[in-house]
């Protein structure tokens, strides 16, 4: 959670660039999606630790409340959902790829939006679920389904495994409803999901992707 004085209201789906600079002047930066709905100067980021990573362990383990970092943003005008969009929305998130999708869900909730949302959220195992209580509580017009790739809770109906066309047919929208599809996660996950959606007849212009790179959970 960051307080950013003078933060302009962001759009759901946008990200920030976080820059860290060491005392010797070495500096490096990474992108992180905004998880929150617009809320004054407060900006919530959700960062998943990559064990041998350069930046994420620092942000998670070394930084303390009250520390300052350099943030640039909000960034992006394409991978965004605007409350005036009325069409059905399919959100497909893998791992930490849920983060910008959560901002869309929260923004829709905050403005009392009526666009029907479906969320397919792929995680390795139940412990990896982010925002679990909030998603469990749910919202009218939001359907959430978990796709486990390694271990599922005992009563879960779907066999474990990576995202399939069947998942997208069952949990998504038919292409002729012309939904807007937002896909986010590690590059391999996004690659697979976008290919499947295209094969199901979704217009490539309505498949918006955000690849987090090989990492990103």
Partner 1 sequence: MDTDRTSAQGTYEEYETAYEDGNTLGGPLSEIFAVDLTAAVGRCAGCGATGPLARLRVYDRAPGLVARCPDCSRVVLRLVRGPDTAWLDLQGAASLAIPLGGRG
Ligand X SMILES: Cc1cc2nc3c(=O)[nH]c(=O)nc-3n(C[C@H](O)[C@H](O)[C@H](O)COP(=O)(O)OP(=O)(O)OC[C@H]3O[C@@H](n4cnc5c(N)ncnc54)[C@H](O)[C@@H]3O)c2cc1C
Applying CB under 6 A, the residues found at the interface with ligand X are 15, 30-33, 46-48, 50, 52-56, 96, 99, 210, 212-217
User: Contacting partner 1 (CB under 8 A), which of 21, 41, 42, 72?
Assistant: 72
Tell me if 122 contacts partner 1 by CB under 8 A.
yes
CA distance 167 to 171: 6
Nearest-approach distance from CB 46 to ligand X, in angstroms? 6
Residue 36 binding target from ligand X, partner 1, none, CB below 5 to 8 Å by type? none
Tell me if 15 contacts partner 1 by CB under 8 A.
yes
CA distance 164 to 187: 16
Nearer residue to partner 1 within complex by CB, 96 or 179: 96
For binding to partner 1 (CB under 8 A), which residues are involved? 8, 10-11, 14-17, 29, 31, 72-80, 94-96, 122-124, 128, 149-150, 161-162, 185-191, 208-214, 217
């Amino acid at each position: 959670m960051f307080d950013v004085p003078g933060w302009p209201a962001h759009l759901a789906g946008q990200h920030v660039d976080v820059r860290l600079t060491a005392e010797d002047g070495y500096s490096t930066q990474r992108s992180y999606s905004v998880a929150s709905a617009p809320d004054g100067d407060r900006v919530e980021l959700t960062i998943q630790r990559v064990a041998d990573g350069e930046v994420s362990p620092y942000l998670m383990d070394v930084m303390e409340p009250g520390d300052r970092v350099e943030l640039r943003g909000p960034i992006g005008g394409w991978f965004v959902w605007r409350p005036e969009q009325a069409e059905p929305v399919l959100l497909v998130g893998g791992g930490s790829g849920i983060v910008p999708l959560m901002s869309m869900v929260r923004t829709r909730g905050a403005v009392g939006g009526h666009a029907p949302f479906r969320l397919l959220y792929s995680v390795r195992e139940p412990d990896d679920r982010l925002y679990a209580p909030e998603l469990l509580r749910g919202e009218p017009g939001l359907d959430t389904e978990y796709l486990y790739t390694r271990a599922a809770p005992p009563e879960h109906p779907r066999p474990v495994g990576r995202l399939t066309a069947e998942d997208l047919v069952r949990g998504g929208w038919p292409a002729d409803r012309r939904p807007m599809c937002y896909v986010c996660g590690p590059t391999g996950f996004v690659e697979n999901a976008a290919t499947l959606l295209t094969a199901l007849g979704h217009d490539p212009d309505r498949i918006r992707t955000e690849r987090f790179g090989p990492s990103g959970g």
